[in-house]
Amino acid sequence: MQHAVRKAVIPAAGFGTRLLPATKAQPKEMLVVVDKPVIQYVVEEAVQSGITDILIIISEGKEVLKDHFAKDEHLEELLTQKKKTAELKEIQALHQMANITYIYQAEQRGLGDAVLCAEAFVAGEPFALLLGDTIVESAEPLTGTLAKDYAEKKDAVVALQRVPMAVAHRYGVFVGEEVASKLYKAQRLVEKPPQGNIPSDMVFAGRYILTPEIFDALRRTPPGVNDEIQLTDAMKILMEQHAMYGRLFDGVRHDVGNKLDFIKTNIVLGLQRGDIGAELREWLKSLG
């Protein structure tokens, strides 16, 4: 099997019900954080991690995701005429930075089902999986860190973050033993454990390197929590035959798929911006 990770899959076909009504006619992956849609942050992380080929999984009505990364000759001409060079460069980068293709998930049957749509694209290679509604801030692009771990271990690696026990029930939870600094070998995975029975405070952070064996495991996975095909359940099947690792990373994961975190993400990333950060900080202080 090839060991360099050069393909990425980005599921973006979900309904985004937690953000309704914003997501009725607008994909949540296209919601703007400061000045870019969420999906652009995700694609940029993949590209900075050495990924060359990206499959975005969409559903009917989410074609605007395609438009965002498509070449727009008319707009490029206009920006050239107006000598808006910086804007032109940014717009050109959108269709030049990677080879991006799309596939439709026919029915939104869960993350596991979405990943299954990527089997032909993956074509037997290890691949990165990046949730399309999750932005990661880290010193080095997180998918790249995971790809390095994969190159060493040759088994699946998931990104982990620690969360307060009180909220761990919202996530896929990882139980493992530390085998190197911040690298854990998985012992047990639990998708959304019941409150009061949380086995660990380490949870999946929306970035994975998976091996193609995941597809057979997904086919054997019945619907789980929320009646959806859960990726975590398929990973548990994979663990019967293969080791799996978890990388606790230094950084922050922003899950833009719920209202509170969407607003927080805009503020946190806005504060870091040279053009608006200082003014935003002052304004926040003035709120008391």
Q: Rule CB under 6 A: which residues touch ligand UTP?
A: 11-18, 29, 57, 105, 108-111, 113-114, 131-133, 257
Nearer to ligand UTP, 79 or 136 (CB): 136
Using CA atoms, how far apart are residues 137 and 271, in angstroms rounded to an integer? 13
- Closer CB to ligand UTP, residue 42 or residue 79? 42
Q: Which residue's C-beta sits nearest to ligand UTP? A: 14
Residue 105 CB, shortest distance to ligand UTP, in Å, is 5
Cβ of residue 9: shortest distance to ligand UTP, in angstroms? 10
Tokens standing for residue 91 = 């717009």
Q: Could you tell me if 221 and 233 are in contact, meaning their C-beta atoms sit under 8 angstroms apart?
A: yes
Closest to ligand UTP by CB, 15 or 283: 15
Q: Measured from the CB of residue 254, what is the shortest distance to ligand UTP in angstroms?
A: 13
Minimum CB distance to ligand UTP, residue 257 (Å): 4
Q: Which residue intervals of the chain are DSSP H helices?
A: 38-48, 64-69, 73-81, 85-96, 111-116, 119-122, 142-153, 213-219, 231-238, 259-271, 277-286
Residues 54, 101 contacting (CB under 8 angstroms)? yes
Is 50 in contact with 5 (CB distance < 8 Å)? yes
Nearer to ligand UTP, 37 or 110 (CB): 110
- Of residues 66, 17, 76, the one with CA closest to residue 43: 66
Minimum CB separation of residue 211 from ligand UTP in Å reads: 20
- Using the minimum distance from each CB to ligand UTP, give the nearer residue, 19 or 238: 19
Q: Which of 231, 253, 251 is nearest to 167 (CA)?
A: 253
Report the alpha-carbon distance of residue 245 to residue 271 in Å, rounded.
34
d(CA 258, CA 209): 25
Closest to ligand UTP by CB, 19 vs 79, is 19
Smallest gap from residue 24 Cβ to ligand UTP (A):
12
